[in-house]
Amino acid sequence: MKAVCKTKDLLQELQKVVKIAGTNQNLPILSTILISASNNDLVIRSTNLDIGVEIVLPSVVSEDGLVAIPADVFFKTIQTVQDESIALEDDDGGIIVKTKVNTTKIKGQSVDEFPKLPVVEGGDVVEVDTQTLFEGITAVVYSSSTTTIRPELSSVYVYSKNKELVFVATDSFRLAEKRIPIAKGSAPESILIPYKNAAEIARITHLVEGTASMRIEETQVGIHLPQTYITTRVIDGAFPNYEQIIPQEGVVTATLLKHDLQNLLKKTSIFTDSFNHITFSLNSKEKEFVARAQNSDVGETTDSIPAKIHGESLEIGFNLRYVLEVLPYIHSESIELIFAGTGKPLLIKGKSDSSYRYVVMPMNR
């Protein structure tokens, strides 16, 4: 292998693949990236067997070659390069990194051990904007369960409806749903993407401008981006019928400014207990939204913000963190908090944004 490429471009593309590779004592090859040089392209692959990424970087290739080298070592080495361009040469299964003032040799592993990335060729095809795809995933993935006891909850549920791609995630304590427009195609079959893979897909798509073409099969999803290909396994399971837990109407609704609620929750969080318990009080006769928190070791606080309140009076407790975490993903200055009643869930949504819904279950004292 003999290839020359722009240092800045190589570093940017490596950011997509390096995090996929990890430490695996049983399969050390998974800590490497596979680099092939041919036809004036560097093709770089990374996989952990759960998700795989391949990027194509235009380069000047004078000699074809193929190496598997430690991802972390190679990435950190390239980060230190100050030259505008960089030369790569294979060396007895490893690679030599050359600049004007430095030569670095990195040992490699057998390329025959590197797993092949699955290529999804059949299935349904959906096209969406890359940044819209990023937004769709990030708006829900944090609501997934982080345990694998129920795999369908440690995932992001994806399906299409009315020319929109719908993303849903829940850990049974809260649920987030985000809808994004489909540019082309549809996906009749729903899928469950492991939440860690979904987070990686979002991270990579955020680095790419253009169109994402998703090809969906029963066991795999392939996502084609400009100069980038991602493949991920899907979970075999059934997502809960979540529509039945979303309140269709509430006994009381509070309309307030998102910025006011964020400040209120941040101040009140100082006094929450180990369960992050916060109590909301609403009275339709008053134009205030009241929050109260108490901690036996710290003290207690009661604070309020202006709000439009319609309906019954209500006092109900929630996990403060669950309410606070959703606010950055609501793109509306005013938000609605729709309370279904005592012991029932709370629906949060933007006043001017109908593409996002978030449900939180109450806490019992």
Q: Could you tell me if residue 119 is inside a domain?
A: no
pLDDT of residue 364 exceeding 80: no
User: Same domain for 168 and 201?
Assistant: yes
Q: Which helix (H) or strand (E) holds 268?
A: helix 258-268
Q: Could you tell me if residue 365 is inside a domain?
A: no
CATH code of residue 268: 3.10.150.10
Of 190, 172, 176, 171, the C-alpha closest to 136 is 176
pLDDT of residue 192 exceeding 90: yes
Q: Could you tell me if residue 151 is inside a domain?
A: yes
Query: For 247-294, what is each residue's pLDDT tens digit?
Result: 988 999 999 999 999 999 999 999 999 999 999 999 888 889 999 999
Burial class (CB in 10 A: 0-12, 13-18, 19+), 217: middle
Region 209-235: mean pLDDT is: 94
Query: For 284-333, what is each residue's pLDDT tens digit?
Result: 888 899 999 999 999 999 999 999 999 999 999 999 999 999 999 999 99
User: Same domain for 29 and 85?
Assistant: yes
Confidence of residue 204 (pLDDT cuts 50, 70, 90): very high
User: Same domain for 131 and 97?
Assistant: no
**Model pTM score:** 0.93
User: Same domain for 151 and 103?
Assistant: no
Domain count, the chain: 3
Q: Which of 39-43, 248-252, 356-360, 361-365 has the lowest mean pLDDT?
A: 361-365
Of 242, 251, 203, the C-alpha closest to 223 is 203
- pLDDT at 200 (0 to 100): 97
Q: Could you tell me if residue 88 is inside a domain?
A: yes
Region 9-13: mean pLDDT is: 96
User: Same domain for 136 and 84?
Assistant: no
* pLDDT, averaged across the chain: 94
Q: Could you tell me if residue 38 is inside a domain?
A: yes
- pLDDT at 286 (0 to 100): 86
354 lies in which domain range? 246-360
Query: For 81-117, what is each residue's pLDDT tens digit?
Result: 999 999 999 999 999 999 999 999 999 999 999 999 9
Between these two residues, 187 and 237, which has the higher pLDDT value? 237
User: Same domain for 233 and 269?
Assistant: no
- pLDDT at 248 (0 to 100): 86
| 127 neighbors 109 (Cβ within 8 angstroms) | no
User: Same domain for 263 and 349?
Assistant: yes
Q: Could you tell me if residue 118 is inside a domain?
A: no
User: Same domain for 235 and 330?
Assistant: no
User: Same domain for 215 and 287?
Assistant: no
- Domain end call among 181, 216, 242: 242
Of 67, 74, 10, 64, the C-alpha closest to 37 is 64
- Domain end call among 88, 113, 138: 113
Q: Could you tell me if residue 8 is inside a domain?
A: yes
- pLDDT at 218 (0 to 100): 83
User: Same domain for 213 and 259?
Assistant: no
Locate 143 and state its tokens.
């609501």
User: Same domain for 60 and 81?
Assistant: yes
Query: For 134-162, what is each residue's pLDDT tens digit?
Result: 999 999 999 999 998 899 999 999 999 98
Query: For 320-353, what is each residue's pLDDT tens digit?
Result: 999 999 999 999 999 999 999 999 999 999 999 9
Q: Could you tell me if residue 155 is inside a domain?
A: yes
- pLDDT at 365 (0 to 100): 59
- pLDDT at 58 (0 to 100): 96
CB atoms under 10 Å from CB of 325, counted, come to: 17
- pLDDT at 105 (0 to 100): 97
- Domain end call among 113, 143, 171: 113
- pLDDT at 26 (0 to 100): 82
- pLDDT at 130 (0 to 100): 97
User: Same domain for 231 and 263?
Assistant: no
pLDDT of residue 217 exceeding 90: no
- The alpha carbons of the chain give a radius of gyration, in whole angstroms, of 25
Confidence of residue 22 (pLDDT cuts 50, 70, 90): confident
